[in-house]
A and B are shown apart, each in its own frame.
Chain A
Amino acid sequence: MDSPAVEIIDLVKRYGGTTAVDGLTLRAERGAVTAVLGPNGAGKTSTVEICEGFREADAGTVRVLGLTPALPELRSRVGVMLQAGGVPPAMRCAEWLRLVSRFYARPLDAGALLARLGLTEHVRTPYRRLSGGQQQRLSLAAAVVGRPELVFLDEPTAGLDPQARHACWELVGELRGAGVSVVLTTHHMDEAERLADHVAIIDRGRVVAEGSPASLTGAERQLRFRARPGLALDELLNALPAGSAAKESPAGHYIIEGLVGPELLGTVTAWCASEGVTADDLRIERRTLEDVFLELTGRELR
């Protein structure tokens, strides 16, 4: 039981000439929710599918519950939600969940699980007639019906309406409460902030930052604004109270850290006025994971 839920060291995955995963190292603890956050094409799905045993790594080590991903033993201990599809289009909603449940020794009751995810009205609806959000919820149900120790959820809330997204978040919270380890991929920073104990931000196949959401965003408040690139921040720093910091990252995005209060705000706006600069999007707030990603990579998450 000492091994982590997932341990990935220096993972590399190439498709022809493109390197999808480029030396990725990640550890997901047992009983915790780990979010793999990154833009499309960052290598999230490749990483997860190697953990699920669907793909072979080109280099590096991957251990799932301490075992090699392809081991048959893991199939009963790990629940999987694919990013899309995986269900015969003509199969009825409840029929699919019952079928999957019959592969496990002590499954959850399929009817209760469908009710929990708001699919009771659709038990007899063929998969192809379900909405995208309903299909996602059915796939989520199939991932947990076998009472796994670990679940991989690949973009579990993509395409969900707000209500269904909350139902999904609640279920993930309950899984965590019941001691299930959860590894999910997402490109919604609010989802990672809200659900995860541990967030790994990945970009271009590598982890660029990781930690708890609070440690990544920092507890300090910041003042942020946008203006034309290349302002001389040295002058501003001289005017600010000691211990303040000012940076431009990426170009045109300014971040002032320190004792953010009326005095600091007044100093900054006065300085902007003296420079003849209109500060756009001026706000005081905690950093979000979106900000962290932007600062690290110079690109928007989506």
Chain B
Amino acid sequence: MTTLDLTPAPGAAPFPRMVFAQACAEVRATLRNGEQLALTLVLPVLLLVGFSMMPLIDVGASRVDFLSPGVLALAVMSTAFTGQAIATGFERRYGVLKRLGATPLSRAGLMLAKTAAVVAVEAVQAVVIVAVGLALGWRPQGSFLSAALLIVVGTAAFSGLGLLMAGTLRAEATLAAANLVYLVLLGAGGVVFPLSKFPEGMRPVLEILPISALTGGLRSVLAQGAALPLVPLTVLAAWAVLSLGLVSRTFRWE
């Protein structure tokens, strides 16, 4: 039988190492989960390919130029909001958040690891979507930094909304609600169908949705070459501050 040196030798690992270990575990869990992968990668690519190739929507200019920024925004929402809400909701239900709370990984460390994992998965999504877009003839313009900034603030806003659900609702309710919200925002947020197709009276409401701000912002940078679209950026920042503020007050770890 193996001998183990059980003599106490307590001590926490360095903070970056803990966060890195947890982030890697979260990325592996996402990539291993088939449903999650369908949502984060397969569906956005199918939408991009399908709507680019088929004349189902009338957007005036090149369809792929219109669709690629929208699909990028959709990918951000699927990972930061839907995927994260469902995964965290079930972690809470299975006592994983509680158990991790008994390790030296602090709650701040856990949240940082989750954020890092979301960003890593988004990077994979972006590479795939951009490659497919380019192959379909997409010619992006504008500043890469502006687009990246929109994605970062958008990620914060969607993460806040996802964690708000995961930290308050039952896991099953989070699963249902996160998917429902995803579908509604996919339809009503200018991802595939331009907001200009909606009735005039609905537009002001639709435009303040986080998904519309992200699609609109990315589109004005990548399709129209705008420098830094301040209105969408402000809308996203407001969602981020509001949702993350509520998360810090309401999130239940058990």
Please report A residues at the B interface, Cβ cutoff 8 Å.
52-54, 72, 75-78, 80, 82, 84-91, 95, 99-100, 102-106, 108-109, 112-113, 115-116, 142, 144, 146-149, 174-175, 177-180
Contact = CB atoms under 8 A, between A and B. Distances in A.
B29 A91 contact: yes
B12 A76 contact: yes
Interface string B78-107: 000000000000110011101101111110
Contact of A179 (B8, B25, B29, B95): B8
Interface string B20-33: 01100100110011
A103 B4 contact: no
**Which of A102, A112, A175 has the largest number of chain B CB atoms within 10 A?**
A102
A178 B11 contact: no
A75 B104 CA distance: 5
Contacts of B2: 112, 115-116
Contact of B99 (A80, A112, A113, A177): A80
B10 interface: yes
Interface in B1-42: 1-2, 4-13, 17-18, 21-22, 25, 28-29, 32-33
Nearest to A178: B6
A71 to B, nearest CB: 12
14 contacts: A53-B101, A76-B11, A77-B8, A85-B95, A86-B98, A86-B99, A88-B94, A88-B96, A89-B94, A90-B29, A102-B13, A147-B9, A178-B7, A178-B8
Contacts of B94: 85-89
A103 B95 contact: no
B172 interface: no
B10 A147 contact: yes
B95 A75 contact: no
A104 B12 contact: yes
Contacts of B11: 76, 104-106
Contacts of A80: 99, 102
Contacts of B17: 102
A94 to B, nearest CB: 12
A-side binding surface: helix, strand, loop or mixed?
Answer: loop
Contact of B1 (A87, A95, A116, A147): A116
Contacts of A52: 102
B95 A149 contact: no
Interface of B: 1-2, 4-13, 17-18, 21-22, 25, 28-29, 32-33, 90-91, 94-96, 98-99, 101-106, 254
Contacts of B103: 75, 100, 103-104, 146
Contacts of A87: 94, 96, 99
B101 A149 contact: no
A248 B149 CA distance: 79
Nearest to B101: A54
B25 to A, nearest CB: 5
A146 B29 contact: no
Given A86-B99, A104-B12, A180 B25 contact: no
A96 B196 CA distance: 49
Contacts of A103: 12-13, 18, 21, 103-105
Which residue of B6, B9, B11, B101 has the most chain A CB atoms within 10 A of its CB atom? B6
A104 B102 CA distance: 12
A113 B7 CA distance: 14
Given A54-B98, A75-B12, A77-B10, A116 B4 contact: yes
Contacts of A78: 102
Given A87-B94, A87-B96, A99-B22, A104 B104 contact: yes
A236 to B, nearest CB: 52
A245 to B, nearest CB: 45
Contacts of A77: 8, 10
Contact of A88 (B5, B91, B98): B91
Contacts of B28: 95
B7 A179 contact: yes
Nearest to B33: A90
Contacts of A175: 6
A95 B102 CA distance: 18
Contacts of A99: 21-22, 25
A75 B8 contact: no
Contacts of A178: 5-8
A108 B4 contact: yes
Contact of A82 (B6, B9, B33, B99): B99
Contacts of A112: 2, 4
B14 to A, nearest CB: 8
Contacts of A116: 1-2, 4
